[in-house]
A and B are shown apart, each in its own frame.
Chain A
Amino acid sequence: MSRAPVHPLTIGLLLLAGAAAPLLFPAYTNQVAVLWLMIVFASTWDILGGQMGYNSLGNIFFFGAGMYTSAVVQIGLYYDVGMYTSGARTTHIVFTTAQYFTGFALGTIAAGVVAALFAVVTSWIVFGLRGPYFAIGTLGVAVAAAELISSWEWLGAAAGISMPVFPGAPETQKLFFYFLLFGLAFAVLGFLRWLYSTNFGLAINAIRDDEEKAEAMGLYTRRYKRTAWTIAAFFLGIAGAIFGNMTGFIEPRDIAFPTTTFNIFMILMVLLGGKGTFWGPVVGAVVFQVIKEVTWTYFLGWQFVALGLLIVIIVVYFQQGIVGWLMEKYPERFGIRIAPKERQESSRAIGLAPHPEGAE
């Protein structure tokens, strides 16, 4: 909502926190890396779900599409993909350091581009839908992709693909992917901050508030909706490429298109933090990641029960989210002003005003 530039101190603190975390808590490097990934998830989901009012259940599709695209590029540059993924292969596979990084760089770029292309294509179909139909339609895209890849032998089918091995010590690998995800999250936040300050932010907010009105005013609503979807897809594709290489092994149902975990987490984090606010998804991701890690550590076996409970509590009692709640409580701190209740109008409406021509 507030469109003022971010305070340089905020940027500095964010950079410092990101850089210092793996040094201060080396044991938690992977968890914090996943936190940055969660921030990317939540912030990109909020472009459509929060700012534009289109609740997508299929964003995870672009994450998985990016992951598989990068895998194909990284392997395909040097080997035959069908041979590489075949269960009966006998060839010894080695990637040199140069091959690994060239493949990874090209694969990540391709992942973003291909995911964005998929978004352009699917947007022709899904934006014919609105409300709950849009949600179900997008979910269908993600589920269909998971099923398709599960039976596609060339891509390893349900058995998945072992990604090229990182040429370096495990510690270096951890830090390498940590800083990539941190950099991605930082880039996404910077980009969105700029995006929401332009006409684009106003337009997608207008679509959220009243799409029919926006159409009646001549706004190119389709153009905005499709661009928003494509932007989210681009960043999710890149995130997928990085995460796939980080885990080292990809398969369709639980890693590339996890419709019941990451896909739901995105929405949950945004709801928890506050829909349609810039910092809401970030705050939501941090709180959620902490809750998730605690339940995973101390209530193992019950973690999904705890998560389900959290969903119910948020949806029933806390829909506006943390930042949304703060905005309601202290609107002036966020630069929002609410009209005082009917001051001057009621005093004038008594009927003492002069009646010029033309009215009762």
Chain B
Amino acid sequence: MNDPIIEVTNVCKSFGGVIANYDVSLTVQRGAITGLIGPNGSGKTTLFNSIVGYHPIDSGSIRLDGREISQLHVQEIARLGLLRTFQTTRIYGKMSCLQNMQISVPHRKARLVDMFSCERAEVLERAEQLLAFVGLYEKRFLRAGSLSFGQQKLLEFAMALINEPTVLLLDEPTAGINPTLINGLIDRLRRANAEFGITMLIIEHNMRVIMNMANKIYCMAHGEMLAAGAPSEIQNDQNVIDAYLGAH
């Protein structure tokens, strides 16, 4: 079961004098759900941003499926099938849910003429299926910006799914959602992983959620990788407990 799809090796990234990531290494196995935890400001989102090409890294290497991607731009990486969702949900607010889905289809195959292609029946059908999958089918004609925060998160997740990613990076998928919706979201994340075969790397603060979902968990603190292992190992790791609760 050693089939890595993302390999981050010795990545360093600093902003001015602040070292956000120092010598960080991480591996995501194909088809697995991997967790990334750590206190606020420990460099998790910076690592995410580095992986998806949001900013250049200072040193180290990031590989997707064996291919070096640390020099590529956000859009190129997205078209390779590595997609991320945002901590603060981002959707196209003035467009309907269905239009949000229609414009999120995979662009890796897009040719120039596809800029002017019309509504395709199979895209609509797929969009409706996935909206039904996340439970937003009744709201498909509504303006996305008028949905509640939790529903927008579900929509963003559905938009990611229609893009047919091989790897999905989720930045705090359950933050700010009420417990009822969290249950549904976890269930759908699991199904997306099992049924669509999407590998996932998830940043999460909700310990019970991440401990239950992930096969392997990485823990960061102060920009460095503190520990890695199965959920049970992480839960009993003294360093992790210290980092989260304060070592005194």
Q: Which residues of A contact B (CB under 8 A)?
A: 195, 197-200, 202-203, 205-206, 208-210, 212-221, 223-224, 227, 276, 336-339, 342, 345, 348-349, 351, 353, 355-360
Contacts and interface: CB of A to CB of B under 8 A. Distances in A.
A345 B52 contact: no
Interface string B68-94: 000000110011000110100011111
A220 B75 contact: yes
A200 B183 contact: no
B163 A218 contact: yes
B182 interface: yes
In this complex, the interface size class of chain B, counting residues with CB under 8 Å from chain A, is: 35 or more
Contacts of B147: 339
Contact of B116 (A195, A212, A214, A345): A195
A339 B75 contact: no
Given A197-B119, A355-B179, 4 more contacts: A206-B92, A345-B150, A345-B151, A358-B212
16 contacts: A197-B118, A199-B114, A205-B103, A206-B100, A208-B94, A210-B93, A216-B74, A217-B104, A218-B78, A218-B83, A337-B142, A339-B146, A339-B147, A353-B180, A357-B212, A359-B209
Contacts of A224: 115
Contact of B209 (A206, A218, A358): A358
Given A205-B92, A218-B79, A353-B180, A339 B115 contact: no
Contacts of B112: 223
A355 B183 contact: yes
B126 interface: no
B133 interface: no
Nearest to B141: A337
A276 B182 CA distance: 36
Contacts of A360: 179, 182, 206, 208
Interface in B128-161: 139, 141-143, 146-148, 150-151, 159
A9 to B, nearest CB: 24
Contacts of A214: 92, 103
Interface in B170-205: 178-183, 186-187
B107 interface: yes
Contacts of B150: 345
B148 A206 contact: no
B75 to A, nearest CB: 5
B24 interface: no
Interface of B: 52, 74-75, 78-79, 83-84, 86, 90-96, 99-100, 102-104, 106-108, 110, 112, 114-119, 139, 141-143, 146-148, 150-151, 159, 163, 178-183, 186-187, 206, 208-209, 212-213
Contacts of A212: 90
A277 to B, nearest CB: 11
A195 B117 CA distance: 10
Contacts of B206: 359-360
